[in-house]
A and B are shown apart, each in its own frame.
Chain A
Amino acid sequence: DADVTQTPRNRITKTGKRIMLECSQTKGHDRMYWYRQDPGLGLRLIYYSFDVKDINKGEISDGYSVSRQAQAKFSLSLESAIPNQTALYFCATGGSGELFFGEGSRLTVL
């Protein structure tokens, strides 16, 4: 089994729908991250969390929210999806610099 598991792996939805991407990890790290990857723009940080009571905004948090349900679970929500949120989303966990990434969730908003 993968150390960092993301669900769903692929999702197509319509503008205005609420979407949740889920992430769970078995690495035992406290820190978890959500990144977005777009062609030509690299990986951009959406939100990150150091424990269940500590949530921090990244550089592109507008339009997103997160929930840290447990040390091992970190979910990302799009309350009302829009087409420019079409992207590949990665969850990651790790320590001071080595991040372990999930396999990614490809989201398409029509």
Chain B
Amino acid sequence: QKEVEQNSGPLSVPEGAIASLNCTYSDRGSQSFFWYRQYSGKSPELIMFIYSNGDKEDGRFTAQLNKASQYVSLLIRDSQPSDSATYLCAARDTDKLIFGTGTRLQVFP
């Protein structure tokens, strides 16, 4: 069974800090990884994807991938209360996505 694991949190950070969200995956053959954000009561939406080892930056968000360690992370710089949500990590398995359980992030003023 291919798995994606995340700490459920909550991860609490003060406004303006860097939030670091982590994810590990079991299938060494996985090549593509995705971060979705889900606000309470809403549906998930894609915020980042990463295919290559290293960092990928998009605004305040940076995705990091380390295939040797089977580790994916999402950094959110200058965290805002509006970033408070559950962040779902996903790995592509052929033609479908395997999701982690999500990490709940709380950004307090």
Interface residues of A (CB under 8 A from B): 31, 33, 35, 40-45, 48, 50, 58-59, 90, 96-99, 101-104
Contacts and interface: CB of A to CB of B under 8 A. Distances in A.
Size class of the contact patch on chain B: 20 to 34
B34 to A, nearest CB: 5
Interface of B: 1, 8, 32, 34, 36, 42-46, 49, 88, 90, 92, 95-102
Contacts of B88: 42-43
B95 A101 contact: no
B97 A99 contact: yes
Closest 8 CB pairs of A and B: A42-B101, A101-B43, A43-B99, A98-B46, A42-B99, A97-B34, A101-B44, A97-B49
B8 to A, nearest CB: 7
